[in-house]
Amino acid sequence: MKEPKTEITNHTTSLEISKRLKELKLKQESLFYWDYCEANDSGGYREWLDVVYISDVVDIDDTVASSYLASELGEMAMSSINGTPLELLKVFDLLLPYPLYAARYFDQSIFGKSDKSMSNAMAYLIINLIENNIVNYEWKKRWLYE
Question: pTM for the whole thing?
Answer: 0.77
Give every CB contact of residue 141 below 8 A, 6+ residues apart in sequence.
Answer: none
Write b or e for each residue in 112-125: b if 16 or more Cβ atoms lie within 10 A of its Cβ, otherwise e.
bebbebbbbbbbbb
**Structural element, H or E, at residue 125:** helix 118-131
Residue ranges of the domains in the chain?
8-143
pLDDT at position 107 is 60
Rounded CA separation 84/77 (Å): 10
pLDDT at position 76 is 87
Rounded CA separation 96/14 (Å): 20
**Structural element, H or E, at residue 89:** strand 86-91
pLDDT at position 15 is 86
| Cβ atoms of 42 and 96 closer than 8 Å | no
Residues of the chain with pLDDT under 70: 1-6, 36-61, 80-85, 106-109
pLDDT at position 24 is 96
Helices 70-78 and 118-131 cross at an angle (nearest 10°) of: 30
pLDDT at position 26 is 95
pLDDT at position 6 is 60
pLDDT at position 120 is 92
